A and B are shown apart, each in its own frame.
Chain A
Amino acid sequence: MTQEAQGTSGTGTETGAGTIPEPDTEVSTVSADETAAVAAAIVATALPAEVPTDRGPKISAGWSTGLRWFVALLAGLILFGAFVLANGADPIQVYADIWTSTLTQSGQFQQIILRAAPIALAGLAVVVPARAGLVNVGGEGQLIIGGIGAAAAALWLTPLMSPWVVVIAMMLFAMVAGALWAGIAAAMRLVVKVNEAVTTMLLNYVALYTMLFLILGPWKDPKALGQSTSVELNDAAKLPVIAGTQIHIGVIIAVVAAFAVWFALTRTTWGFRLSVVGGNGEAARRAGMPVVTLILTALLLGGALAGLAGFVQFAGMEYKLRPTFGLTIGYVAFLASWLSRHKPLPLLLASVVLAAIAVSGNSLQINSGLPAASVNILMGLLLVAVLGWTSPRKATS
């Protein structure tokens, strides 16, 4: 995995242990990809598919639950502090930097919200399949394919149609592309019974190389200097921004999508059936439910939501495909979904928290000389601590 990930950076710079990373964002983002991917893989393999129901037995409500959360978060912070100390920096200073860089500057706060939007959408791509007991580790690839879909719509339709039609088309293309990409994993699960956690993860690499093929070849912008990219999106087709802010409407799309998913999962027959399939597939089969269709729709909708994240990232943030397009969003979103126990509304909060940690990585690099990707370690530690210490205990009969 190391070789592949570094090969894609296009720089060929080695980031060996002990060497001081150059102030090159690409290098640090590549290692960020690795840590996040490894964390995601560990979570995917080490934990049983936990099926959320919103109806589970209420466990030890009240202060003890709150205390466990507090202790878990504290443990994560202490472990990361030890890591920082081992790398010769001052943990107190680092935490102070994270605090001031995220919460005390209004521009930073908007950056956090902008980062959180695609994380939340890609997180919903984990939430929906999780309801059916499926583990979608493929948000990363489905998001990239969504970006490719959006870019294709922009490339082909911009000369032909008005900008707002192009925006709608980009969105639809992205969602369909993401759904089809997830559909490959769904088909493999249903036909040849390969676990979707494995296929979705491996398809992430196929998606990445597909994008690299396009921007190094057929879609390469002839005017791009240095790094290969696709042609930048026409200004008129970029997502509009809320007046007086940097916040584009992708943020609103993410919030609306979270509420829509919440409604679909908790208030519709389809959502109820998904939770039956996820809770006990045999019971669903015996009740005559269309289990195959339910699994298929859950994964396809998940893929479409990740594709939507790719659209928001493309039309709202990056405006063109490049080797680092959407990098790590899918994996961070996976962590966000697990942190929120696969519930759509808490997911919004988890996305903002993880986006804040990610944004604070820059200040870490500037002030403490730690690589920006160090914050991924913090994310991973928080996730493991929270999952391990606050998991509902199995109810006994």
Chain B
Amino acid sequence: MTSDAVARAESRVGKPTALLEVRSLTKRFGEVLANSDVDLTVMPGTVHGLIGENGAGKSTLLKMIYGVYTPDEGRMFVDGNLVAPGNPADARGLGIGMVFQDLRLVPALTVAENIALALPDGPTLKLRALSAKIEAASKEFGLAVDPTAKVRHLSIGERQRAEILKVLMTGARLVILDEPTSVLAPQEVEALLTVVASLRDQGLGIVLVTHKLNEVRAIADQVTVLRGGQAVLTSADPNDFSDEELVEAMVGRRVPPLSRVRQPVPASERAVLELQGATALGDRGYVALKGVDLEVHPGELVGVAGVAGSGQKELCEVALGLRPVSAGSVRVGDSPASGLGPSEAIAAGAVAIPEDPVADAVVPGLSVLEHMVLDGREVPRRGFGIDWQAVDARTTALDERVGLRMAPKKRTLASLSGGNIQRVLLTRELGQDATLVVAAYPSRGLDVANTRRTQEVLLEHRARGAAVLMVSEDLDELISVADRIAVMHDGHLVGVIETAGADRMSIGRLMLGGVA
């Protein structure tokens, strides 16, 4: 089957017929125009970069192509034939495959079993034959995957390869990759781009959804930029545009680069945050933080890099008194030597952006205003209750100071998007004169302009003399704002690198457990 697919794909190479051609697709959700008159053409043997901010309409476009949504207007052609996939199965039958951001694999099953689930292979499982097929296909496409390995034991990069292989084995000739690099270490990104290049060379069409311009530069033959549901650039050659022009196309206005001028970190005797041999258990009971020594001084911004799940979450929680240490010690400001709890950390002047805002900070039924008092600080009282007028005034002041333009105060958090929830929490926490800022993925869900503003606010805290600890999965972001970068691997702090003159690849090697 897979060799058929390749043969078909190869037979198309060199022909002018587009693999996928989308003409004037329009989709409305009630009043909202999610996609308006969008065109997209993917030729065989090319990589098409699709970029745009959150809410620009990328997901809507992909879902129409993949048969999840039916377009209100417009037409789609595959190999020059008019098609209208009514559901994902139709789309797969047309040779369209999709690799989702949250990979659709069952962790408890092996790679072969997961692929068997996706193949229409009759009533019985022929796993041995399938394994042979998988190995053949994985050689053919240059995707190294062990078919007998349980998915749960694979790294994120390996899972992604398994997912891509699954999509290819179902006969896909057009592969859509939805923000595939957002969870990968730099080396894994390189490996993925190599895979994408080899698929392209075999004549497949690739749609690469991303918000990282360097990836577009590295691999995309054409680029389409969506903004507000409209294609601002359609199938353009990325080499014709500068980075600034592409960002302007995405955002709709110029975003000045972050100022590189920084005050040097003032010399200080005593760190605001001090961890000594801090060891802590993770949620599942195994040791997730292993003997970490780290100091963050006043006026210093320390970045934390690492592959997802390397102990960043536990590091932040230990620093905030949310997770007890099983060995070692942790101190925030003048907090007591033993037993740092959440209230003690708050009293010592810590503010926090949680790793998982919805699980850790959002009370669904409560409004934006009501969330503003959930920061652990003194709440204005009135009689038996809370003086909501005073809270309202304070909130307005915070919103002006931070400048992230929160959603209206009466809205419930349950009705807000991830980015808007993040802005509420950022405003509440970063609006205060904290001595310690612990920010986990602060720009999660934010658009380019708000990401930039958030970085500025963090730097303002640093300039004011606060100690800032910032976790990010975007190495470029850390390099642009941090004084030092602490790299984590498997619960250990494997190195602290001065950002000045830091090299992405050597940080990446540390993240993967190697030597810098």
- List residues of A whose CB falls within 8 A of some B CB: 51, 53, 55-57, 263, 267-272, 275-276, 279-280, 282-289, 394-395, 397
Contact = CB atoms under 8 A, between A and B. Distances in A.
Interface in B341-382: 342-343, 346, 352, 354, 359-367, 370, 373-376, 379, 381
Given A287-B375, A288-B376, A53 B416 contact: no
B385 A395 contact: no
B363 A57 contact: no
Contacts of B367: 55
B496 to A, nearest CB: 27
A51 B179 CA distance: 36
Interface string B309-334: 00000000000101000000000000
Contacts of B373: 272
B387 to A, nearest CB: 10
Contact of B414 (A57, A263, A269): A57
A260 to B, nearest CB: 11
A133 to B, nearest CB: 11
19 contacts: A53-B366, A55-B366, A56-B412, A268-B385, A269-B379, A269-B386, A271-B385, A276-B363, A279-B366, A280-B362, A285-B342, A286-B352, A286-B376, A287-B375, A288-B342, A395-B415, A397-B414, A397-B417, A397-B421
Given A283-B360, A397-B414, A55 B365 contact: yes
Q: Which of A56, A57, A283 has the most CB of B within 10 A?
A: A283
A277 to B, nearest CB: 9
A25 to B, nearest CB: 43
Given A57-B415, A288-B342, A275 B352 contact: no
Contact of B374 (A51, A56, A287, A397): A287
B403 to A, nearest CB: 23
A275 B414 CA distance: 15
6 closest cross-chain pairs (CB), A and B: A279-B363, A288-B376, A53-B365, A288-B343, A268-B384, A287-B374
Nearest to B361: A283
A269 B374 contact: no
B359 A395 contact: no
A29 B493 CA distance: 67
Given A276-B363, A279-B366, A282-B360, A55 B385 contact: no
Contacts of A272: 370, 373, 385-386
Q: Which of A267, A288, A289, A395 has the most CB of B within 10 A?
A: A288
Contacts of A284: 374
Nearest to B345: A288
Contact of B364 (A268, A280, A286, A288): A280
B366 A395 contact: no
A57 B416 CA distance: 11
Contacts of A286: 320, 322, 342, 352, 354, 360-361, 374, 376
A381 to B, nearest CB: 28
A267 B385 contact: yes
A50 to B, nearest CB: 10
A279 B362 CA distance: 8
Interface string B409-435: 000101111100100000000000000
Contacts of A53: 365-366
A269 B360 contact: no
Contacts of A55: 365-367, 370, 412
Q: Which of A271, A275, A397 has the most CB of B within 10 A?
A: A397
A200 to B, nearest CB: 24
A280 B357 CA distance: 11
Given A285-B322, A286-B352, A267 B384 contact: yes
A51 B379 CA distance: 23
A57 B412 contact: yes
Contacts of B352: 286
Contacts of A279: 363-366
A97 to B, nearest CB: 42
A327 to B, nearest CB: 36
B56 to A, nearest CB: 17
Contacts of B384: 263, 267-270
Contacts of A271: 385
Nearest to A58: B412
A32 B301 CA distance: 67
Contacts of B417: 397
Contact of B415 (A268, A280, A289, A397): A397
Contacts of B320: 286
Given A57-B414, A263-B384, A286-B354, 11 more contacts: A55-B367, A269-B379, A269-B381, A272-B385, A275-B365, A280-B361, A280-B363, A284-B374, A286-B322, A286-B361, A397-B418
A51 B365 contact: yes
A215 B242 CA distance: 90
Nearest to B360: A282
A67 B386 CA distance: 37
Interface string B18-30: 0000000000000
Nearest to A280: B363
A288 B414 CA distance: 22
Contacts of B363: 275-276, 279-280, 283
A38 to B, nearest CB: 30
Q: Which of A280, A285, A289 has the most CB of B within 10 A?
A: A280
Contacts of A269: 379, 381, 384-386
